[in-house]
Structure 1
Amino acid sequence: MTTVHHWTGLEAKALRLALRLSVRAFAQQLGLAVATVSKWESKLAGTEPRPDTQAILDTALGRADAAAHLRFETLMSEMTSATTTARRRVTTSSPRAWEYESWADDLDRVVVALSRQNFTFADSLLTRWLTRFKAPELDEKGQYLFARSTALLGDLKRYQGTLFGLLSAQHFYTGARAVFTQLDIPRRVAQLDLSLAIVMEMSGKLEIAARHYETLAADDRLSRLDRARARLWVGTALSKDGQYDYATRLMQAAIGDFEDLTEPDDWSVAHQKLALARRGAGDLTTAFRFLDIAWTTGTPESPMQRVQLTTAQAHILCTDPVTRDDGLRLLDEAAQIAARSDLGHQLRSINAIRQTCEGAFKHLHQSPGSSE
């Protein structure tokens, strides 16, 4: 999520344009005089809203949807670049302004496609632009869009989760990070550090990933929401490494942040991960309670959300021999959804859970004290 540490008239104008509001409508939404907004737009970086108005702008930005956030970032990149024309590198091969607008619109569509796991469509949109231009040929706005496209391609490969896909995700994230570093956009750099830590965790490098998450959870370059997610992922990595009680405490702290930030989907995901941590600790009653919260408070509309919740429920059921068959049935259901949606990492997790469950069942019935 986009964060502004200090508002000036420049950022305020970019927010108005990103929300696609007139000066009057923007002033009305903020509860301010039209003359105040007009002053911001005439003086731009030369004027600063009052502290109480800074908070109002924070709220307006926080309530904006993902598409508006992307437009805001693009506008900020363009407007900031315009104040430093001498540093801009413009070549004859740079795309025209309308192409930049089309590119930004396509990135809006990519974000939606990825949220629905429509990977083929997202890949076609990203490839359209990444094959058309080379980053060194672009001005700063073009480089920003190129880096955003590269980072989203990394997200696509990570969501697919195949072993080759994880290597590709790491490659794309590293490339995007280099461009954002050159453009001096520290928040984007930190977000990519977070994405790279997730790839480490998915690759099984749990201890290294946990250390990176811990560092990022206190990184002021990130928004409070991203820092809370980093704290949750510290707990996730530790839970996978068998440190269930410590992981539980960290996850509960993250849940408190998500509640304060009014982020129901993150709150739901955190309860799902917390349920798995309690399963690992052998506390099945609490695990089921947390999972019920995850099911009833989240919005499991996307295939990935349904697979994750169903897999978590199956994992808990498989822990108890009495409910093992129900767990295996749910694993089959989750595997079918994951296969249809090309979720390779989820399929590997499901197969690993199945092998563990079936192995424990065989061990139980082959032990000397078994009834067989």
Structure 2
Amino acid sequence: MRTLDELDVDGKRVLVRVDFNVPLKDGEVADDTRIRAALPTLEELRRNNAALVLVSHLGRPKNREPELSLRPVAGRLGELLGTDVRLAPGVVGDQAIAMANELQPGDVLLLENVRYEPGETKNDADLADQLAALADAYVNDAFGAAHRAHASTEGVARRLPHAAGRLLEREVKTLTAIIEDPAKPLVAVVGGAKVTDKIAVIDRFLEVADAILIGGAMCFPFFKAQGHDVGSSLCEEEGIAPAKLALEKAAQGGCRLELPNDLVLGDRFAAEAERKQLDGVDVPDGWMGLDVGPRTAERYAAEIAQAGTVFWNGPMGAFELEPFAAGTRAVAEAVANAPGTTVVGGGDSAAAIQQFGLADRVTHLSTGGGASLELLEGKTLPGVEALS
């Protein structure tokens, strides 16, 4: 993978794929974390006398919905960079070309939402050609989109001198090191709703980790595979068979697969639900497991505390509902306090650790949920492969 150290950008226009897929509220950026994550790359390029043409997606537009315009992002980015960031009215076309041609070193132009163009997700060759025509070089700093073979992540990289931005470079090196050269013991904390979404990364960790700690609704297919009652808990039927196989694999190998031994139940999925603790894991009819219990949280925190490397992806329960946030909070605090290398793998885990105000106390907070998991699984990411 080529890095910025190998790319000459002096006096050149550089097309930079960034991940500015940020939440908006009332026409303003509600969370600028992803914008801030791109700043080191953008500032380095500007210091090196480059003019920047930025390209990003926002949401999943179907018909150029104005509420998915990047205009609020341009405003916030300008504030953070301390410079005017112009927004092109389109992704490509005469106006975008004219605005790109006017750029001077240090100037920043943001193209409109690249997914306004239907050819983006199809990796359309014509769109990739038009994007390439806007610049002299290409930098991909959008790790969160690197697992997609799109025109702005894979196609255009084949058409210009290219390199990884600092964010993408750090993501790939950090996550690869977890599998290839972790400080031991390696503990993986895996939560969320579906076993099928994460069974490949669970299988991978069964080969390289010392312990896997399971939480969230995905524990219920494991419990069902063991013959436990799950009551009204969210239990993915398609996850039962792979959960059983994972349990069998763990029993034969050197990695411990740990499950909760107590739960916090609710009579419905709501903040005002009736709540009770269960000393055990057999959920009565009419109740659903919505968090790991305090004994499980304490046990998991102890595992995390003695780890040389911790990878965490997925909450321990319905942390968005305050009565059921304790388990996820306990894990977040344990990860923040852990003496070893700590990596939080994007998605809901990143949202949780930010919600609890602990994001600055982990070694690495990934910007790519799906991309993080696919890289750990051993898959080739098209946006990364194109930078070789």
Tell me, yes or no, whether TM beats 0.5: no
Scaled by the length of structure 2, what TM-score is found?
Answer: 0.24
Q: Which has the higher helix share?
A: 1
Q: Which has the higher strand share?
A: 2
Scaled by the length of structure 1, what TM-score is found?
Answer: 0.25
Higher RCO (Cα < 8 Å, 6 or more apart): 2
